[in-house]
Amino acid sequence: MIGVPLCDLCANVRRWDDLDVFIKICGITNVEDALLATALGADAVGFVMSSSRRQVSERVVRDIVSQLPADVMTVGVFRDMGKARVVETVNTIGLRAAQLHGSESPATTRWVAERVPVTIRALAAGSPDLERFDEFGADLLLLDGPAPGSGEVFDWSMADPRLVSEPMLLAGGLNPGNVADAIGRVGPYGIDVATGVEADSGRKDPRLLRAFMTNARAATPPQSAEYVGDTNQRPFDWQEEDGPMENS
């Protein structure tokens, strides 16, 4: 991990040793969905900052972030955007994490990681880059399907959390009907969903979102799942010595 220790960033999202899986709701486009997700207990919400049917402007994201609880991780999702622009965006509109979801190299990812609080590197299942993930310097791996953002489920046997030493977020086709099975079979640190809780593109369905959260929280990870990285650098302990970080 590169940059500021995660435990120094924010306070009281949850302890690492809690049994609950870390839940990120991505593709947020409006404040109503963001507030609903956090009210239901989401640990993080994601905003697509690059070209996409779910893309939102910096002005809209800044406004949404300003209305969220201070203990929620706010994530900007970027795809092959200039590294300086990624850092500027994260640090000027109040985001707490950059998710790089394109072809960003290890060098680019490390450069970003040195300048933002938290970095998530997304890779497709089966990517050869998984074998050198430590070179990216990211705090978390987001493992997606072969067609990232498609909402399609992939073979979960390709999603062994022990592939990398950093915590893994599982994405790709998750929905209320399969999320408990995914957690039970894979045992990821966290999960990421967008399409699986949408009413239509860019808007969340409250019933699907509630069911997803309920089923994810009720899921039982496999007994063999355990963290294999540096136990002194486990992210999202979020205990800050000097109090919560305020939105910028």
Average pLDDT, integer, range 19-43: 95
> Residue 149: what pLDDT?
63
Q: pLDDT digits over 62-96, tens only? A: 999 999 999 999 999 999 999 999 999 999 999 99
Q: What is the pLDDT of residue 150?
A: 65
Average pLDDT over residues 40-56: 94
| 98 Cβ contact partners less than 8 Å away, ≥ 6 residues apart | 75, 76, 78, 86, 87, 90, 112, 116, 118, 119, 120
Residue-wise pLDDT tens digits, 108-167 = 999 999 999 999 999 999 999 999 999 999 999 999 987 766 667 888 888 888 888 899
User: How many other CB atoms are found less than 10 A from the CB of residue 149?
Assistant: 21
Note whether 216 and 191 are within 8 A (CB): yes
pLDDT tens, 169-201?
999 999 999 999 999 999 999 999 999 999 987
Average pLDDT of the residues of the chain: 84
Section 11-31 average pLDDT = 72
Quote the percentage of the chain above a pLDDT of 70.
Answer: 80
The candidate with the shortest Cα–Cα distance to 24, out of 10, 15, 12, 34, is 34
Model confidence at 14, pLDDT cuts 50, 70, 90, reads very low
> Which CATH code fits 6-233?
3.20.20.70
Confidence band of 220 (pLDDT split at 50, 70, 90) = confident
Enumerate the active-site residues: 26, 144
Find out whether 134 and 141 touch, Cβ atoms under 8 Å: no
Does 212 or 235 have the greater pLDDT score?
Answer: 212
Kindly list the domain boundaries of the chain, sorted by start residue: 6-233
Note the pTM of the prediction, 2 decimals.
0.83
Would you say the C-alpha torsion 194, 150, 196, 137 has a positive or negative sign? negative
Q: Which pLDDT does position 44 carry in this prediction? A: 98
pLDDT value for 157: 85
What tokens appear for 51 in the block? 């070209």
Query: For 141-204, what is the HEC assignment?
Result: EEEECCCCCCCCCCCHHHCCHHHCCCCEEECCCCCCCCHHHHHHHHCCCEEEECHHHEEECCEE
